[in-house]
Structure 1
């Protein structure tokens, strides 16, 4: 009888883990499918942007609030804190789409001009994705600051601001 209870508990835990999982690679594919339609280069998943996206999603879950800012600051501050030095960055957030709803949340974002602009922005090269709480989604887009020209421009721009 104890063995049967243990198997049942294992099955419940395993099933729960499978239900709450989401697929960042599917989200990447959906984003790249849309980008391909307009001739934009495909994005690659970036671990630093993914960490920033997931931490922001976790904040939204904790506070049950859809927001672009959290206790770690603005988007720029959050991705810099992860060690991602950027020349361009953007963020999409959503609430109300459940687990395994990558296609539905993408459809909603593509129906919104601002979100669509981030997805199709030809300046971006990387993507990070977060999901949590059964309803919160975050996409973080970026282009790393990696060329000498970009670094010179960024320094000048920072001095002017």
Structure 2
């Protein structure tokens, strides 16, 4: 018999179908702005999901963790990207709602519509913690 620690099962990765729906919303916004679509990246997804789970587990909402770790710390060891950006949100219950909020926010919208970004990883944790981590290839 194997027992898993709560963190090992309480915060599963985003389902493939959910990630594809989320990506479709992102790419619709980008197409409407005349931009190329983003592609999903599993390494960016791991970073996004890890941050979403960490915020849910430790009860904070910020780009910087309580221990001071930021996006660049979470991306340490990641290769092939020269540009990174991150969007976070909390409380929205579905993809259309969180996307609408991000698109109304100038900073989040700038990340979503940055022509230098080529890939995205998506995270969502219990308590509706949402994270998008974007990367621009070198």
TM superposition score category, shorter chain reference: 0.7 to 0.9
| Cα distance between partner residues in 2 of 1:36 and 1:22 | 21
CA contact (8 A) 1:48 1:84 kept: no
**Distance across 2 between alignment mates of 1:85 and 1:77:** 16
Question: Residue 125 and residue 77 in structure 1: after superposition, are their counterparts in 2 closer, same or farther (change >3 A)?
Answer: same
Aligned length: 124
TM-score, L = length of structure 2: 0.82
Stretches of structure 2 that go unaligned for 5 or more consecutive residues are 1-11
Cα distance in structure 2, aligned partners of 1:86 and 1:80: 11
Q: Is the CA contact (8 Å cut-off) linking 2:90 and 2:127 kept in structure 1? A: no
Structure number, greater radius of gyration: 1
Greater fraction of residues in helix: 1
* Cα offsets for 1:62-101 (capped at 9, x unmatched): 11211101248211221234x2342111000001112xx0
In structure 2, distance between residues paired with 1:21 and 1:60: 22
Question: Counterpart in 2 of 1:120?
Answer: 113
Matching residue within 55, 70, 75 for 2:71: 75
SS in 1 for 2:88: strand
Shift of 1:29: 0.5
Aligned pair partner of 1:48 in 43, 46, 58: 43
Higher RCO structure, 1 or 2 (CA under 8 Å, sep 6+)? 2
In the TM superposition, 1:2-151 aligns within 5 A as 23-70=18-65, 71=67, 73-81=69-77, 83-98=78-93, 101-145=94-138
* CA shift for structure 1 position 140: 0.4
Which secondary structure does the structure 2 equivalent of 1:23 belong to?
Answer: helix
- Equivalent residue, structure 1, for 2:7: none
Please provide the CA RMSD for this pair.
2.0
Where do 4+ consecutive residues of structure 1 move more than 4 Å?
A: none
